[in-house]
Structure 1
Amino acid sequence: MNLLARVPAHAPGLTRRTCVLGLASTPFALSALANTPPRTSIRIGQTTALSGPLGDLGLAMHNGAKACFNQVNARGGVQGAPIELVVKDDGYDTTRALNNALELMADPNMFALFNCMGTPMTAAILPKVKASGIPLFAPFTGALSVRPRDMRNVFYIRPSYPDEAERLVQHLDTIGTRRIAVAYQNNTFGKEIFDGVRVAMERRNMPAANTVTVETNSSDAVEAATSIAALPSEALLIGIAGKPAVDFIRAFRKLRKGTALYTLSILGTAQTLKELGEDGVGIAISQVVPMPNASTAAVVREFQAAWKALGASQEPSHLALEGFINAKAFVLAMQRAGRNASREAFIESTWKLDQQDLGGFDLRFTAPGAHASRFIELTMVGRGGRFIR
């Protein structure tokens, strides 16, 4: 039947054109839209360091996420659609990370970027993410400088580096340790940490800290350790990660064995602690997820089972658990949005989530630029690289 033929030419306010447009709301049109083929998989991309000086960090996070996604896929995926994680190694190099991100975003089936690693890398990627509108979920950085308040498509989970620094300085002040030295990585990541420490110390009227920087390639780690060891301090706060941290701490321990060492969560991979050996014993570390070998939290028990099923050669670590939690949060957000949700629908749905309990670990996405987790606790490295509270 010709539907237009049924429209009276004299019908007030009704034209053949408006009737054509109105057909979009008829059951016939809605049926056509509903018959759009469902998404066969939910494809997400990750650029991270799987090699290079910080490769053990990126690999731990990636494997933690993979353990979660494997577990979810074994149970049928998200409403029948499996999660497909596409990873590209950037070796903790900014140019490679940007090129990786551009390649991932060029894939028309790429739904989101996930858990991309590093402050300099995130800074390079953000303008492209903003222009494309693609969701960037749980980038691995605590830097405030890469947490813009005008990007609704970026979701942060871990607390900021200044938050961790504040917690460490608060502890030192509480126990009466006020003369603190600071060693930090000579990049945006390290400078964020130093700024957080400086502000926290100024707030408590502590004396200004003696400082030293270490290059990301570790070329000056021994020289830096020698320099800071020659200056008086009661405690040394370290804002360095990966191989540079290992080389620096080893060199410093040879010169100043009795000085208390404090550092942030990014140091605490099993590989780093294994390489440090006895030099790592006694280091206090702030953590942004629970103990990975504890069984009190349901999310930790779930992680342990998934990690065992993955068969990873790495030891389970806080960073692996963080990757698992980030993946679990993404799955929850995707389930709420629906397997066939558009990117914008996913973004809107995620911002509408109330506080979520992932199994003893709470999350709440409140506003662009803010982090969804408030969890920070202090741990200490014991014998054999094991953490104790």
Structure 2
Amino acid sequence: MTAKKLITALSLATCLSLALAGCGDSRAGGDTAGGAAPRGGTMGADGVFRVNADGCPPDASEPLPDGAPIKVGVSMALSGPLAAVGAPNIDGLRAVFAAANDEGGIDGHPIELVVKDDAYDPARATANAQAFTGQDKVFATLLQISNASIIATRPIYEAACVPQLGTISQHKEAADPERHAWTTVTIPPAVTEAEAAAEYLAKVHPQGAVMEFRQQVTLGEDWAQVFPGAAQRRGLRLLEVQHIAPTETNLDAPAAKLTASGADAVMAEVQGPMCVSLLQSLAKAGFTGSVVLTSACNGAKQFMQPLGKAADGVAALFFQKDPSTPSARTDPGMRRYFDDLAKYQPKADPTVTMTLNGYEAGNLLVHNLRAAARMEGGLTRVNLMNAAWNAQVERTTFLQPKQSMNGPKDPYIINDVTVQTYDAATGDWKPTGVVYTYRAE
């Protein structure tokens, strides 16, 4: 059914003109308009990717004073159309940081979370970035959502040499270490999911007819660039795309058109509540073909269980385990997650996929902070970025737990996407044997 990716985007709203002199802090050092801001990085002969720190403010290479907190800024939607996404992510972050602090923090430094609401608005995300690099003096940021907000805020973080880590976007521009090495991405690109979906559909419907339901948001735009080619290379026949308005709630008309078309399958390039609306409309229209959902709709509890038998056999894209299934509670790889949530965030719902998403983003940051602290020069922002780009980690809540990054050779921490189908009788997912692994070009 769907993995866990939440990405999406408003229309590519106006990005504020970013005069770094207006960021209000000496960290901004340099004129971005003149191209002075450090941006890219290079691969060394030793196989280690290093960010370009030339022109960075001096404190980017200075270790934190003994005992000083590691401030981590998070700009996320706590209001607006994605408010339901923001709060669970924050719950997960609070749990993993509290667990790390209970273990003594990072080399004696406690982690301190600084949260700001951006309402999924690039202009507000930009204002938050200016505050983070100005008066808040954060050490790093996490989980900026949507390509529009990432692009709007990236010059601010680059000029200040503040790591912009674990951003959430499937757009190909989001992970670009050779030009924008101060930004990393926490999910695989759209092409990985699209290839996996096409592989699955070609397996169950050789030479079959597929209709795309494409929500008119960034998610849909990203899929429009990659799914048609992936499908056609596998001999699938694509029917007329059904374009869905971002806030549409009734999909009965396109569902009826799909059923009348004789399509074998539908590729649902949608997110959020529209996942449930789509499945309800397909059931009403009597569609009996295959349904594939993106990873933006992959929680069994949130999207499948409310539909009962109507969700049986629906396929979704995954890279992380679903914490809402019965098998998750007995999975040894999920035990620490559930234990940490129960201990440090007892009021949070650990079965929500976005809670796990926040927890794992924080878990990866803790890993990279510890690696940076062991480097020559100690815990600096430059070392943190270098640690992030050369990470090797095992995260057992993922379907492929062994993960790594290595600059342009391996720009994504998650490279594998699998297809699973929902079993309404057990309330759990079943593997289909389809796995696609992303390889950098």
Same fold flag (TM > 0.5): yes
Instruction: Give the superposition deviation at 1:290.
Output: 2.6
Superposition RMSD in Å: 2.9
Q: What is the count of residue pairs matched by the alignment? A: 356
Name the structure 1 match of 2:113. 85
* Whole-angstrom CA distance in 2 between matches of 1:230 and 1:94: 40
**Unmatched tracts of structure 2, length 5 or more:** 1-60, 431-441
- For residue 73 of structure 2, give the secondary structure of its aligned residue in structure 1: strand
Alignment of 1:220-235 (within 5 A): 221-235=251-265
Shift of 1:254: 1.3
CA contact 2:294–2:317 (8 Å) conserved in 1: yes
Q: Rg: which structure is higher?
A: 1
Q: Deviations over 1:124-160 (max 9, x none)?
A: 3233333332211111222213223411111223211
TM-score by length of 2: 0.72
Which residue of 2 is the match for residue 347 of structure 1?
A: 385
Q: Deviations over 1:51-84 (max 9, x none)?
A: 4443333333332232211221222221222222
Q: State which of 98, 117, 120 in structure 1 corresponds to 2:148.
A: 120
Shift of residue 36, structure 1, vs aligned partner: 7.5
User: SS of the counterpart of 1:78?
Assistant: coil
1:197 CA drift (Å): 1.3
Equivalent AA in structure 2 for residue 362 of structure 1: K
| 1:46–1:114 Cα contact (<8 Å) kept | yes
Alignment partner of 1:329 out of 356, 361, 364? 364
TM-score in terms of structure 1 length: 0.81
Change in 2 beyond 3 A, CA 1:231/1:385: farther
CA contact (8 A) 1:63 1:323 kept: yes
Q: Quick one: distance in 1 between partners of 2:418 and 2:312?
A: 18
Counterpart for residue 27 of structure 1 = none
Distance 1:90 1:273 in 2: 29
- The residue type equivalent to 2:349 in the other structure is Q
Distance 2:297 2:63 in 1: 50
Query: For 1:356, which of 393, 401, 408 is the aligned residue?
Result: 393
Classify 1:82/1:264 alpha carbon distance in 2 versus 1 (closer, same or farther; 3 Å): same
Matched, 1:300 2:334: yes
Return the match for 2:243 from 183, 201, 213. 213
CA 1:247–1:367 in 2, change beyond 3 Å: closer, same or farther?
same
Distance, in Å, in 2 between the alignment partners of 1:264 and 1:322 is 16
Contact 1:253/1:279 (8 A) holds in 2:
yes
Q: Is the 8 A contact 2:298 2:322 kept in 1?
A: no
Note closer, same or farther for the CA distance 1:36–1:127 as it changes in structure 2 (3 Å cut): closer
Query: Which residue is equivalent to 2:232?
Result: 202
User: Residues 207, 41 of structure 1: CA spacing in aligned structure 2 closer, same or farther, 3 A cutoff?
Assistant: same
* Cα separation, 2, equivalents of 1:229 and 1:45: 47
Report how far residue 323 of structure 1 moved: 2.4
- Relative to its length, the structure with more helix (as a share) is 1
Q: How far off its partner does 1:39 sit?
A: 4.7
Match of 1:190 among 199, 215, 220: 220
| 1:171 corresponds to | 200
Q: 1:151 aligns with which of 180, 186, 196?
A: 180
Is residue 306 of structure 2 the alignment partner of residue 258 of structure 1? no
Q: Specify which of 29, 46, 71 is matched with residue 74 of structure 2.
A: 46
Which of 406, 412, 430 aligns to 1:371? It is 412
Q: 1:163 to 1:34 in 2, by over 3 A?
A: closer
Query: Residues 226 and 133 from structure 1, CA distance in 2 versus in 1: closer, same or farther, beyond 3 angstroms?
Result: farther
The residue matched to 1:58 in structure 2 has which SS?
helix
Q: How many Å separate the matches in 1 of 2:63 and 2:216?
A: 54
